Amino acid sequence: MKKLINLSLVIIGLTTAAFLGGRYIEQAQGTSGADVFHLYNWGDYIDSDLIEQFEEETGYRVVYETFDSNEAMYTKVQQGGTGYDLVIPSEYMIERMIEENLVVELDHSRIEGLEHIDPDFLDLNFDPGNRYSIPYFWGTLGIAYNEDLLEGFEPESWEDLYRPELADSILMIDGAREVIGIGLQTLGYSLNSRDSSELQQAADQLTELSPNIKALVADEIKMYMIQEEAAIAVTYSGEAADMMWENESIVYILPEEGSNLWFDNMVIPHTVQNEEAAYAFINFMLDPEIAAQNADYIGYSTPNQTAMGYLPEETVEDEQFYPSQDMMDNLEVYEDLGLEYTGIYNDLFLEFKMIK
């Protein structure tokens, strides 16, 4: 555990230096003007070459800032201290932000390229008619494992993670919905359960999993798995794709009980200062060749059906990243739980972390 923590501190320092120095993308503090575009996105979630290309094509200067959770993003946008022009949240948080008037209704007459988006990713429950959001990426939560380190054992389900021989072997994504969701789905319950009894059962179930958890981590989970610091990781599909690219012994699977299907969409927040730039960026990212380049770089699944024609055939035919309809039917989308149950999930998650 100390090895992981110390290595994490070193990597965070080096990554920050490289990010600020080598990739030219700067933090959004005190920078404004008609030629400036403030983008707030997940860490390592866009090809930096595309940022440069967008700047060259449009004349806007991109000020790029990142977040590591929907909740952190929500808090900053809600406070309104920084004038972000475009943000990329997940579906359940978009639903909440719409309800709280934290995002601007889109003018579809200013959007070019929406016809390239697969209809299956439009008009979803969290944003009917895509009045407030435009698809960016989608993916799943699953299990990545190193088949060499597991010596013949191949996990197929969430339940498999509880095996006693996996003590101190699993890296877990550091998120309340994800962790509590594993407990819920192991018991056959919905990822969006609002039943107090089910939630307590899920928390009790996770107590049994605790001895197998090596660490709860975020972006650095990729590095740890690539360097074989752990045998198994509960992670997102795009993170798994990066792991598999760097280490051929890593495999990604969707648990047989089901898992989370998520969507990240582009929204214009109420803090917008440069609406023209926001629409320009949306249209830029809807271009099929741009979307394909971004998907190839990031590793997540693109909702841009035209872009798939520019991706390698082995990529779009891989059912772990572009699941069949039968597999999709076994996945569940997070819903906004409301303040009460969001608090309950967070409290149960914190109790789990304290045990760990």
> Could you tell me which residues are annotated as the binding site?
92
Instruction: Give the number of other CB atoms < 10 A from CB of residue 59.
Output: 11
Q: What CA–CA distances, in Å, run from 334 to 31, 109, 212, 221?
A: 35, 30, 26, 22
**Residues 6+ away with beta carbon under 8 Å from 35:** 59, 60, 61
Binding residues for spermidine: 92
Closest CA to 141 of 170, 168, 181: 181
Tokens of 106: 């889109």
Residue 96 sits at φ, ψ, to 5 deg, of -65, -40
- In single-letter form, the type of residue at position 263 comes to F
Looking only at the bridges linking them, the beta strands covering 134-146 and 250-253 are: antiparallel
Q: What CA–CA distances, in Å, run from 116 to 10, 109, 123, 305?
A: 42, 15, 14, 6
